[in-house]
A and B are shown apart, each in its own frame.
Chain A
C-alpha cells in the first residue's frame, strides 16, 4: 500500500493505483474524458491534469501516473483550471455545438465539463470537421464530426470485446476514428462503443431522437435473455422502455452488454404484444375476459389432474416457477412438468446432480478471471453467453489465462492470443473428454485418493488417445498434450454451455467433464472447477426449483408426444415455443394439433400459441418484479419498469389465480413467495428479497464430488452426407430475441453455415438459397460460407420461425443432411 495526500486528504491505495484511482477512492472527482474504469489508462484527453508537489513545474496527467509514497497532489488550482479550460476550448474548436439535436446531450461529458468550467467563449476559431456521417448502420450511428478522439470506442472494442472494429486513421488534424478501409461498420454490434463514447459521436440508432436523456426514468433490472445475468438499466419514458442506459458500476460486467442486452429490448413495447386473453371458438381466436378464460382453463386442468402436462420457459422468475411447481406438482399432482425440451437442462438436473449431488455447477463467474487454464467446451460459449465471452477475453488478455477449446468448429475465441482449439468431429465430445480423463489417470496425474478412481479407470480403458483419435479426428498427441496441460495447471476451469441448440451437451457430457475436474481435485477451489452455463436467464433457477420430472413423469419432448397419444389430457405451456425450438417441428405441430386442450401463456401469439385453445397474455421482465438466478448461482432482482401491456397479467398472477381456483394456496405477493422459496429450497436459505440489494447474492454450494463413468454415444456417419450441428447465433438468444428489433436488423433470416471446402464442392456461394435435407424433413436456408468450419460440418442457428432448423433435426447431437441448391 502507498500513502499520499490529495487535496489535503490522506489516501492509502494499492501500489499499482494511479493518482486518478486514488482520488476516486476518496471521492475526489478529477474530470476526465478518455477513461473508463474497465479500460487501460490512455492519457489522451489532458483533462485530468493535476499538480504534484514533487514534480513541480509541469502538470501531471492523473490517469496515467502511478502513485508514489508521500506524493502531495492538488487537483484544483488556478493553473489547473486554466489548463483544463484551454483543453475544453481546443476540443470545442472542432466539436459542433449541435447539442439541441444531439442525443448525448444531458449525458455528455464534454457538455457537462464545458458547463462546469464555464467555457462560454473561445479564444481560437477554426472550421468544423466535415466528415460524412454513417446513417446506414441500423444500430450504431457514427458522426465523426462530434468525435473528440478519446479513443475509448477503439479500446473497448479491442480490450474487452476483442473485435477491433475501430482504429484511428490518418494523422494530425486529419486523424479520425475509422473502420477498416473507412468502410461501413461490420462488427458484433454489441454497442459497447456507444456506451463509452463521452460525446454523441456514436449513438444508438434505434433510440435516435426518441427522448432526451434527462427525461428518462432509469430502472435497474436484469437482462432477460441468456443465463449470464447481466444487470441492465432500462431507460423508460411514457410507459415505454426506450433504451438501455450504460452504468459502469453495474454488475460483475461493469455495465458491459451484448447486442441483445443493449438493442433487443423492443419486444417489451411491441405492437404485436398480446393484450387480452383469447379463446379458440370454431377454429378462430375470439377475445375473452380473464374470468372466462381462467374459468375454462381451471376446469380443464382440474378435470385432467395428474395427466396434465406443463412446459415452461426458463425466462420466468423464480417466484413464478415456484408457483408453477406448486400448481402442477402440488395442487394437480402431475409430475409431467419440464422446460427447455427436457435435454437443455439435463447437464444441470441430471449431470451435475450425479457428479456433485446438487443441480448447480460448483464454480462461479468470478472464477473465469482467476483461473490459470480455461477449458471451453465448444466455441459457442461465446455466442450463447457473449458477456461471459468478454470475461474470457479479459482473462486471456489481462490475466494471462491459457485458453484451450474443445469444439466441433472454430470460433471467435479461437483467435485469442495463445488459444488452442482442438477441432473434433461433431458429436464426439464425450469420447474426447473421456480420452482426456484416460490420459490423466494413465499418466498418474489424478490426485491421490479420489473415490471411484479404479472403476473409472476400468470404464475408460477403451478411451485411449489412439482409439479416440480415430473417432474424433484429433491427433493422439494433441489429446495427450491437452490432458497434461489441464492436469498441470495450478487452477483450471471448465466452461460448458448448454441450451436448446446443443442436444449433445447433455447429462453424460456434464458428467464426463465433471470427471476431469474431480480427478484433478479442482472442485471447491477458487478459480477452478466447472461452470455449466444455463442458456436462459433463469435456467439455474428452474433447476433449483425443480422444474423437471422428479418421480418418473414425462420429460419435455415426451410431454409433447403424450399430448399426441392422449396420455397428456391438458397441456399448459408458459412462454415456451416448442414449435420452433423443440426437436422435429412436424411432430410437435402434429402433437399440438391432436392435443385435447392446450393453454399457452406468452407475450406474443407465437407459432405455438397458434395451436392453443386458450391464449393468456403474459408480461415481460420489464413489467414485473421478481428474481432470476444466473450462471454461477447469482440471485438478482428485477424491478417493474412499465405497466403491463393491455390486460396482460404476469405469470405470477395467472398461476396464482389458477392455483387458487383449483383450491390451492393463494399467495399474496412476490416477497411472500420469495420468503417461501428461502424457507423450502435449501440453497436459498436465509435470503430475503430486500436483502438482495442491487448486487444480488451468490448462492452457497457444497458439492459432494463423485466420479461417474459415461460411455460415448456412437456417432452416425454416412458417405456423402454432411453433419449438421445446431447452436446459437451471436445476435440472438432463444426464440424471444426475434421480437427485439435490434438483432433482426443485423441477423434477420435463418441461415446455414458451410465450410469453404464443402461450399466449393457443392458450388454454393455466400447468400445462395440452399436446401438442407435430412431423414426428418427439408428446409430452405440462406447459405453462409465460413472459414471456421471444418469440411463436412454444417452449422445452423435455431432461433428463427420461418425455415426453422428443427424441421430437419430430431433431437440428436448431430443430424446427417444433404445440402444442395
Chain B
C-alpha cells in the first residue's frame, strides 16, 4: 500500500533535478522538425507563381478548403487567377502538396496562424506566395 506511493513520489522528486521540457514560448522558439506541415506557400519561379491551376489540390483536399479559379494569361497559358486557402478548415494533411504535379506548393515551418478576425484566416494568393 505504501510502496506504490513512495515509487510515485520518487519520480516526482527526480524531476525536480532534471532540465524542464517546457518551452518558454515566445521567448524560446521550438526546433521545427523536418517535414513539419505548417502554413502553405506557393512557390515562385521567374517571378510568377508556379501554379498552373490544374485544380488537383482542391480535388484531393479532404477538408475542401482550397478555392482555385483559373485564368488565361496574355500568352494563353493557364494560371491561378484566384488561389485561396481557408485555414480554419485546413487540416494540414499535406495532400495538396503531394498532389501538385508541378511542385508549385509547399508547406512551410510557419505555425503561428492565430488571428483576430475570421476573414484573416482566408489566405489569398498574395499572402500565400513564397517569401524570399
Q: How far is the CA of A211 from the CA of B71 in the complex (A)?
A: 11
* B61 sits at the interface (CB 8 A): no
Which of A105, A208, A211, A215 contacts B72, CB < 8 Å? A208
Interface of A is mostly: loop
B50, chain A: closest CB distance, angstroms? 11
Is A163 positioned at the interface, with any CB of B under 8 Å from its CB? no
User: Nearest CB to that of B71 among chain A residues?
Assistant: A209
Given contacts A100-B101, A209-B53, contact A214 B59 (CB under 8 A): yes
Distance from A450 Cβ to chain B, minimum over Cβ atoms (Å) = 64
Contact B59 A135 (CB under 8 A): no
Whether B55 pairs with A101 at a CB distance below 8 angstroms is no
Q: How far is the CB of A146 from chain B (nearest CB, A)?
A: 14
B60-79 interface mask toward A, CB cutoff 8 Å, 1 = contact, 0 = none? 00000000001110001110
Instruction: Give A135 to B72 CA distance when docked, in angstroms.
Output: 11
- Is the beta-carbon distance between A209 and B72 smaller than 8 angstroms? yes
Q: How far is the CB of A98 from chain B (nearest CB, A)?
A: 9
Return chain B residues, CB-CB under 8 Å to A210: 70
**Minimum Cβ distance to chain B for residue A659 (Å):** 43
- The B108-123 residues at the A interface (CB cut-off 8 A) are none
CB distance from A202 to the nearest CB of B (A): 15
Q: Mark B80-115, 1 if CB is under 8 A from A, else 0.
A: 000000000000000000000110000000000000
| Docked CA distance A135–B53 (Å) | 19
Contact A99 B78 (CB under 8 A): no
Query: In the complex the two chains form, what is the Cα distance from A208 to B73 in whole Å?
Result: 12
Contacts of B71 in A (CB 8 A): 209
How far apart sit A215 and B58, CA to CA, in the bound complex (Å)? 10
Within 8 A of A (CB), among B13-56: 52-56
Residues of B within 8 A of A135 (CB): 76
Q: How far is the CB of B96 from chain A (nearest CB, A)?
A: 14
Within 8 A of B (CB), among A93-133: 99-101, 105, 133
CA distance A479 to B56 in the complex (A): 65
Q: Are A100 and B59 in contact (CB under 8 A)?
A: no
- Asked whether any CB of chain B lies closer than 8 Å to the CB of A74, the reply is no
Asked if B76 contacts A100 (CB within 8 A), the reply is: no
Max chain A C-beta neighbours (<10 A), residue from B52, B72, B78: B78
Looking across the interface, which residue of chain A has its beta carbon closest to that of B70?
A209
- A99 adjacent to B76 (CB under 8 Å): no
> Assuming A135-B76, A212-B59, is B70 touching A100 (CB within 8 A)?
no
Q: Are A212 and B55 in contact, CB atoms less than 8 angstroms apart?
A: yes
> Contact between A100 and B52 (Cβ–Cβ < 8 Å)?
yes
A143 nearest in chain B by CB position: B76
A246–B111 Cα distance when bound, in Å, is 46
Give the residues in chain B near A105, CB-CB below 8 Å: 54
Query: Could you say which residues of chain A place their CB within 8 Å of the CB of B70?
Result: 209-210
Which residues of A are found within 8 Å of B54, using beta-carbon distances?
A: 99-101, 105, 212
Residues on the A chain within 8 Å of B101, using CB: 99-100
Q: Which of A101, A135, A211, A214 has the largest number of chain B CB atoms within 10 A?
A: A101
Min CB–CB distance A243 → chain B (angstroms): 14
Residue of A nearest to B102 (CB): A100
Q: Distance (Å) between the CB of A745 and the closest chain B CB?
A: 16
Output the least CB separation between B45 and chain A (Å).
15
Interface size class of B (residues with CB under 8 A): 10 to 19
Q: Once bound together, how far apart are the Cα atoms of A101 and B73, in whole Å?
A: 13
A214 to B59, CA, bound (A): 9
- 1/0 per position for A619-645, CB-CB distance to B under 8 A? 000000000000000000000000000
**Which of chain B's residues have a CB closer than 8 A to the CB of A100?**
52, 54, 56, 101-102
Contact A133 B77 (CB under 8 A): no
Which residues of chain B come closer than 8 Å to A212, judged between CB atoms? 54-55, 59
Separation of A105 and B101 alpha carbons in the complex (Å): 13
| Docked CA distance A133–B77 (Å) | 12
User: What separation, in Å, do the CA atoms of A101 and B77 have in the docked complex?
Assistant: 8
Q: Please give the distance in Å from A95's CB to the nearest CB on chain B.
A: 16
Give the complex CA separation of A212 and B101 in angstroms: 15
Q: How far is the CA of A211 from the CA of B102 in the complex (A)?
A: 18
Which residues of B sit under 8 angstroms from A215, Cβ to Cβ? Answer: 55, 58-59
Minimal beta-carbon separation of A447 from chain B (angstroms): 63
- Give every chain B residue within 8 A of A99 (Cβ-Cβ): 54, 101
CB proximity of A65 to chain B, nearest CB, Å = 39
B52 touches A133 (CB 8 A): no
Q: How far is the CA of A215 from the CA of B102 in the complex (A)?
A: 20
- Write the nearest CB–CB distance from B53 to chain A, whole angstroms: 7
Asked if A209 and B78 make an inter-chain contact with CB atoms under 8 angstroms apart, the answer reads: yes
Q: Enumerate chain A residues within 8 angstroms of B52, measured Cβ to Cβ.
A: 100-101
Residues 198-233 of chain A, each 1 if its beta carbon lies under 8 Å from chain B, else 0: 000000000011111011000000000000000000
Q: How far is the CA of A100 from the CA of B55 in the complex (A)?
A: 8
B94 vs chain A, min Cβ distance (A): 19
Contact with B along A178-213 (1 / 0, CB 8 A): 000000000000000000000000000000111110
Cα distance, A322 to B88, chains bound together (Å): 51
* Neighbouring B residues of A101 by C-beta, 8 Å: 52-54, 77-78
**Cα(A208)–Cα(B53), bound, Å:** 12
CB of A132 to closest CB in B, whole Å: 11
Binary per-residue interface labels of chain A (75-102) against chain B in the complex, 1 for a CB within 8 Å, 0 otherwise: 0000000000000000000000001110
Q: How far, in Å, is B43 (CB) from chain A's closest CB?
A: 15
Contacting A133 at CB < 8 Å: which of B58, B72, B76, B102?
B76
**Docked pose: A209 CA to B77 CA in angstroms:** 10
Minimal beta-carbon separation of A240 from chain B (angstroms)? 12
Interface centre among A99, A133, A208, A209 (most CB of B within 10 A): A209
Query: For residue B55, which residues in chain A have a CB less than 8 angstroms away from its CB?
Result: 211-212, 215
A105 to B41 alpha-carbon distance, docked (Å)? 26
A211–B68 Cα distance when bound, in Å, is 10
Which residues from A are CB-within-8-Å of B78?
101, 209
Nearest A residue to B101 via CB reads A100
Q: How far is the CB of B72 from chain A (nearest CB, A)?
A: 6
Write the nearest CB–CB distance from A366 to chain B, whole angstroms: 41
- Which B residues are in CB contact (< 8 Å) with A133? 76
Q: Nearest-CB distance from B75 to chain A (Å)?
A: 10
Contacts of B56 in A (CB 8 A): 100
Would you list 12 pairs from A and B whose C-beta atoms are within 8 A, ordered by A residue?
A100-B56, A100-B101, A100-B102, A101-B77, A133-B76, A135-B76, A209-B70, A209-B71, A210-B70, A212-B55, A215-B55, A215-B58
- What is the interface of chain A, defined by CB distance below 8 A to chain B? 99-101, 105, 133, 135, 208-212, 214-215
Closest 9 CB pairs of A and B: A100-B54, A209-B70, A101-B78, A212-B55, A100-B101, A101-B52, A135-B76, A100-B52, A209-B78
Taking A100-B54, A101-B53, A215-B58 as known contacts, 19 extra A-B pairs with beta carbons closer than 8 A to each other, sorted by chain A number, are A100-B52, A100-B56, A100-B102, A101-B52, A101-B77, A101-B78, A105-B54, A135-B76, A208-B72, A209-B53, A209-B71, A209-B72, A209-B78, A210-B70, A212-B54, A212-B55, A212-B59, A214-B59, A215-B59
